Amino acid sequence: MSPILLSIFAFVAVAAMIGAVANILGLFDRTKAEDRLEILAGPKSAAEELKGVMKDDRLGSGATGIKTALGKNVDGLSLLFEQADSPISLEIFSAISAGLALVAGVAVYVSRMPVPVIPLAAAAAATLPFLWLLWRRAGRFKKFGRQLPDALELIGRALRSGHSLASGLHVVVEEMPEPISTEFRNAYEEQNLGVPIEYALKGMLKRMPNMDLKFFVTAVAIQRQTGGDLAEILDKIGEVIRERFKILGMIQALTGEGRLSGAVLMAMPIAIFFAVLYLNPNYVMVLFTTELGKKMIATGIIMQILGAVCIKKIIDIKV
């Protein structure tokens, strides 16, 4: 089997595993409620034409070559870096990925493991920074969601005391910790520079795709057009969020066994593969050198992905 085919196979296998893990973690999941709220919040508007005013280029100014190679995908990658509040630029990120791939490949080669394992190990090591970025973004999203009810109640109190909505946003910036203070600060500074406040909030919603935040942005957009008691609406939204957190906690406790079983079942085939590879490499090499072995590997990867999807569907209860 040629090294090129082995490299392609390793890339597909690692990409499939990353997709399965991301699917289990729910990193790319959207609900019907979120889609409806996005329709109510409005499509792309003039605020996006002004996004260059406050845009934070997390990719770094020196990554011109990488940005050119990425083309249209550079905006999505820049948004990912911004959502994760990445402390490193794209240049450093790429260098770390390449360095890990090189170290993993050399380590496998020095340990005299089979040649097909070298590209697989290098590809797996190169994806570690990306997984770290997704993990950092997911943690930031979760922390933002926990802070949101307090922020909405704080804005509601500011409105009752006679402050404007913009002043309420500034109160959140001064009183709340990271990451919610950073996101509200961006929205507050954008509206100070002339962006309508509902558009500034939609920009924050793009950086923080939280369903509860969509309720807030939708309420502000409707209130700006029709009027009403925004403070009371924010109190109701905060109460709904807190009750939903209680239900989510109960669900997490009830589905803990299923989530643990899913993680064990997903990790066991991989762990057994590397254990047998270490103990008896010739036994495992049959999977790479015979036509039947290649079909078995492909079938195993597909079954792993299907299993991950099925387990996620069972334990993922929408609230």
**Neighbouring C-beta atoms of residue 152, cutoff 10 Å:** 26
Has this prediction a pTM greater than 0.85? no
User: What pLDDT digit, counting tens, does each position of 71-92 carry?
Assistant: 555 667 888 888 888 888 888 8
- pLDDT the model gives residue 274: 86
Q: Give the span between the Cα atoms of 47 and 304, in whole angstroms.
A: 43
Q: What are the extents of the domains in the chain?
A: 142-233
- pLDDT the model gives residue 48: 47
What average pLDDT values come out for the chain (319 residues) when binned by 10 residues?
52 55 46 51 46 48 50 70 86 89 88 79 89 92 91 91 89 91 92 89 90 89 84 88 87 82 86 87 85 88 88 78
